[in-house]
A and B are shown apart, each in its own frame.
Chain A
Amino acid sequence: MTDVTDATTAKSAPTPDDGIRIADAEASGPVLAADGTPLKRSLSRALRMQKLRALALIAPLLIFVLITFIAPIADMLFRSVENDVVAETLPRTTPMLAEWDADSGTPPDPAVFKALYQDIFFAAERKQHTVLGGRLNYEMTGMSSLFRKSGRKVEDMGEVYQDQFEDLNEFWEEGENWNALMGSDEWNAEMAAWDPKGDARQPRFELRDGIEELLPQTSETFSAYAKFIQTVDEDNLAKEDPWAIVYSALYDDLTGPAAARLNDYSGPAAEELRAAAAAVDTFETVDYVAAFQDIDKDWTDPEVWQTIKTYSPRFTNGYFLNAIDMQKSPDGPEMRPENQQIYIKLFWRTLVMSLTITASCILLGYPVAWILANLPARTANLLMILVLLPFWTSLLVRTSAWKVMLQQQGVINDTLVWLGLVDTMDRLVLINNQTGTIIAMTHILLPFMILPLYSVMQTIPPSYLRAAKSLGATNWTAFWRVYFPQSVPGIGAGSILVFILAIGYYITPEIVGGTSGIFISNRIAYHISQSLNWGLAAALGTILLAAVLLLYYAYDKIVGIDNVKLGG
């Protein structure tokens, strides 16, 4: 029972360090060891060996903790601000949106719609557009189906040009012709030599020299297409026909400045290209704005674009704002509508109820621990088993048992009615509300209060109480002035345990808490497993973690963390 902290703060005995310091201060030069090296250095070398050995011993645990504990927490913290999906799925659209004035009240330029077409086309091939829709749907209702629909229909937009090119010349239908046009000669040769049935990897697509200057957009699109076919689908590029969007790109190139450069071109398909360039002016064109409007009129709604623009940065505070009942708007953060505010209320409730549960655990646990600590060991052990019994029962079973006890047709109400204390028509509502949560959780967490209290009380010798009484203190004074202060570290440890466990509980509140007795963790669980809004769940979890750390810090400042003991 010696208080180590106190002993070390006392200026009683000099430590080995002192010796070195004193020696340093006294001698003008450094003190030397027997072999002539400075004493300090040989000491630190000796200590370093010890430290390394200790490190080797704890390495497994350290790695275990890092992998299983620190990494997930870091991941959670990161998720709460991470917002890659918008910028990654819409790489062409988001930079263009940056210049669009969100307050203009009109949708952005047709050029943005064209970029959107390209982005959604590629996203749809990668099945990313629905992920993005799901992400944006957290911020604006309807985004989910908007993107799903759009992904399904962008193909049609490209087919307008594809059909016209193919009608112009069957040459454009064949993937091989495209490969010959766009791919380098070496690559075409390698492809021809490659055996698709063999083990060798498919030769990776390479652009023909000069084609990039000639047909910049087509080159870029075709490369993306080829890369996707070869690496994601893992299909034979020689057997595939290009996507519709490649034709759109070709159309764009041929109607642009590239057309003039074609005159000097003499590579493969030069004739076909020149013919196409001559014909494109007569092609039916695609109005991307109208096409998107056809898919869903929401695409002309500036609010949709605002949402995309607001959430295009790679990092966002949106989840955190959401977690405190706020939202992003073009004019900065603002409170959510009244009928959607829930989180601050739940945080507050979680805090208050956890404190209530902690307090009732102290009230119930203290006398029990006192009795345990003052009984002969044999009886105490027997009672201890009773205290520990709940630990050996599944949490669900215990909680469900409380359901049977507390419900209106349950054991407690039946007993009260039988005793005539309560009328059968207005039985007490003890469950599906805060009362139920407090009762069930106090029961479940009680051992976490009793155990540290018990082990601390065990180390308080009975002679203190006797001494106090012999000095003239009444039983109460002796308890309050002498025994209680010494048991405070136990209360501290128990309270921290119970409180931190309580604040993160969700199974018990879910079962017996009804609507008024649920905690913030229930919403976190909901967002993890039901709504899949992991970013919001992470933000809520981060706030909860911060709150616990803050309370811990406050506890340290007020009570002192060295005033916490789990035992003698």
Chain B
Amino acid sequence: MKLTKTLLATSALTIAAGMVHADAHMADEMTIVSWGGAYSNSQQKAYHDPYMEKTGVKIINDESSAEAVSKLRAMKEAGNVTWDVVDVVASDALRLCDEGLAMEIDPDEMLAEGDDGSSASDDFGDLLVGDCFIPQIVYSTTVGYRTDLVGDTPPTDICAIFDTETYPGKRALEKRPIGNMEWALLCDGVDKEEIYDVLETEEGQQQALDKLATIKDDVIWWSAGADTPQLLADGEVIMGSTYNGRLFSLIEEQDQPVAMMWDAQVFDLDGWIIPTGLSEERQARALDYVRFATDTQRLADQAKYISYGPARKSSAPLVGKHAELGIEMAPHMPTDPENAKNTFLYNYEFWADYRDDIDAKFQAWLAQ
């Protein structure tokens, strides 16, 4: 009957329309997910362009790294993973690995050897966090301050954050406990070696929050990496924490009266993961890309465009000058010995366990 046909036809059309997969992956295309902005640019120039030239594969950029974990989880649940390679911070990689959303990597088998002949696992060393993470750069969260607002005594110590008498004015800190809690304990007299032991306890967490409470009214809490540079440039804050690459471009490219403190900078890693659930063909291509993009020369090349340190030891001697500004990049790397006198390395294991708990307390404390 005509009516039934109409009903069937319309329903079928709708379902068909809904079913058309985003899986329009052509054989020579791959989607690489990253953070966008200057960081993606540096990857485009150091990795994507040479790779596309070499292999003819077309790389599609997706700037979703900030929501990578939740999106990958949703894709996996929907049974349709559209990403081939994803750039994430190490803690997210760990989480994705735990959730079974990232494929396990055997560095020596899947990654290139170092230029100096060292095996991949030796070349990356400790930076191979978890089983799925392929390190790319070392960056740090550090403090920048307005040189024109601090008077004759520019701060050299992280505890300047808590010293509102010498440095009156607002500070920008990240709206999460990680990093801030460590700094608070450090400036409350806790030994650097004992910080995580203290932070494991209720009292230690309270101690850190109490220390932060002393400057609570003077803090603007940021959640996007671009916030602090803007606040510093507008003179809204006298000092603030952010990623060292953001401060580099604020100082060197935009010529703002801002300087970096480097003291107690918190190292973190950023790198690649390959999602699970890819077809064999796509997985092979993703591995090929990663092998290419994380070799010694490529990692060193990226430092020409952004001031983040390459994750391979063998890349360090190859770091040269900034591609446009022409300045020597080595002294601007967080890993430079001059800058790295006092550093933290993001404690992945600790925060994987304590993140939920401390974050709940931190947010409740913020909302008070």
Q: Closest B-chain residue to A533, C-beta based?
A: B356
Task: Tell me if B354 and A141 are in contact (CB < 8 A).
Answer: yes
Of the candidates A49, A126, A148, A339, the one whose C-beta lies within 8 Å of that of B98 is A148
Of the candidates A52, A59, A514, A532, the one whose C-beta lies within 8 Å of that of B10 is A59
Task: Tell me if A141 and B356 are in contact (CB < 8 A).
Answer: yes
Contacts of A408 in B (CB 8 A): 170, 236
Of residues 524 to 538 in A, which have CB atoms within 8 Å of B's CB atoms? 526, 528-534
Mark each residue of chain B from 355 to 367: 1 if its CB lies under 8 Å from any CB of chain A, else 0.
Answer: 1110111011111
Contacts of B14 in A (CB 8 A): 59-60, 63-64
Task: Tell me if B206 and A130 are in contact (CB < 8 A).
Answer: no
Of residues 1 to 37 in B, which have CB atoms within 8 Å of A's CB atoms? 3, 6-7, 10-11, 13-15, 18
Contacts of A221 in B (CB 8 A): none
* Bound-state Cα–Cα, A534 to B70, Å: 9
Task: Tell me if B67 and A529 are in contact (CB < 8 A).
Answer: yes
Mark each residue of chain A from 495 to 523: 1 if its CB lies under 8 Å from any CB of chain B, else 0.
Answer: 00000000000000010001110100001
Of residues 286 to 344 in B, which have CB atoms within 8 Å of A's CB atoms? none
Q: Closest B-chain residue to A67, C-beta based?
A: B18
Q: How far is the CB of B307 from chain A (nearest CB, A)?
A: 25
B349 within 8 A of A: yes
* Bound-state Cα–Cα, A340 to B363, Å: 8
* Bound-state Cα–Cα, A145 to B7, Å: 54
A133 within 8 A of B: yes
Of the candidates B11, B349, B367, the one whose C-beta lies within 8 Å of that of A342 is B367
B95 within 8 A of A: yes
- Chain B residue total in the interface (Cβ 8 A): 45
Contacts of B352 in A (CB 8 A): 137, 144-145, 148
Q: How far is the CB of B46 from chain A (nearest CB, A)?
A: 28
Contacts of A131 in B (CB 8 A): 98-100
A134 touching B7 in the complex, CB below 8 Å, given contacts A515-B367, A528-B70: no
Residues of A contacting B: mostly: helix
A261 within 8 A of B: no
Q: How far is the CB of B199 from chain A (nearest CB, A)?
A: 11
* Bound-state Cα–Cα, A510 to B170, Å: 19
B73 within 8 A of A: yes
A330 within 8 A of B: no
B353 within 8 A of A: yes
B223 within 8 A of A: yes
B269 within 8 A of A: no
* Bound-state Cα–Cα, A38 to B209, Å: 80
Task: Tell me if B100 and A127 are in contact (CB < 8 A).
Answer: yes
A138 within 8 A of B: yes
A118 within 8 A of B: no
Contacts of B367 in A (CB 8 A): 342, 345-346, 515-516, 518
Of residues 252 to 288 in B, which have CB atoms within 8 Å of A's CB atoms? none
Q: Closest B-chain residue to A518, C-beta based?
A: B367
* Bound-state Cα–Cα, A67 to B15, Å: 9
* Bound-state Cα–Cα, A533 to B70, Å: 10
Task: Tell me if A60 and B10 are in contact (CB < 8 A).
Answer: yes
Task: Tell me if B10 and A339 are in contact (CB < 8 A).
Answer: no
Contacts of B360 in A (CB 8 A): 340, 342
Q: Which residues of B contact A (CB under 8 A)?
A: 3, 6-7, 10-11, 13-15, 18, 66-67, 69-70, 73, 95, 97-100, 170, 175, 206, 209, 220-221, 223, 230, 234-236, 349, 352-357, 359-361, 363-367
Q: Which residues of A contact B (CB under 8 A)?
A: 49, 52-53, 55-57, 59-60, 63-64, 67, 126-128, 130-131, 133-134, 137-138, 141-145, 148, 339-342, 345-346, 403, 407-410, 432, 510, 514-516, 518, 523, 526, 528-534
Nearest 3 interchain pairs by C-beta: A130-B98, A141-B357, A127-B100
19 more A-B contacts (CB under 8 A) besides A340-B361, A409-B234, A432-B220? A52-B3, A53-B6, A57-B10, A60-B13, A64-B18, A130-B97, A134-B98, A138-B356, A141-B354, A142-B354, A342-B363, A342-B367, A408-B170, A409-B235, A515-B367, A516-B367, A526-B363, A531-B359, A534-B73
